[in-house]
Amino acid sequence: MASLTIRQIDDDLKTQLRLRAAANNNSMEEEARRILRSALTKPVPEHGDFVTRIRRMVDAAGGGFDLELPPRGPERPLPDVFEK
C-alpha cells in the first residue's frame, strides 16, 4: 500500500474532516480514504468535444430550432484609426 501526505490543508477543512470522522466513528485517515475512494470510484462523465456536446443539447431540445436572421443593413465605414 502507498502512503500519501497532504500539506497545507486549511484549518477549517481539517476540522470538518475531524468532525466527519468522529461522526462516522472513523479515524481522520480512514475518513480521508473513504472520501477519496468514493470520489474516485464514481464514473467519469463522457466529455466529448464542444460540437458533440452542443449536438446533444440540440437533440435533447427536439432536434433543432429555426432562427430568424435580421436583414442586412448597409455597410458601415471602416474606422480611421490608421489615418493621422
69, part of any domain: no
71, part of any domain: no
Give the pLDDT score at 24.
96
- 30: pLDDT strictly greater than 80: yes
36, part of any domain: yes
Residue-number span of the structural domain to which 53 is assigned: 11-60
- 36: pLDDT strictly greater than 80: yes
Task: Compute the average pLDDT of residues 59-67.
Answer: 79
Task: Compute the average pLDDT of residues 50-55.
Answer: 82
- 43: pLDDT strictly greater than 80: no
Task: Compute the average pLDDT of residues 63-80.
Answer: 84
76, part of any domain: no
State the burial class of residue 15 (Cβ atoms within 10 Å of its Cβ: 0-12, 13-18, 19+): exposed
Number of domains in the chain: 1
- Give dist(CA 31, CA 12) in Å, integer: 16
More confident residue, 2 or 66: 2
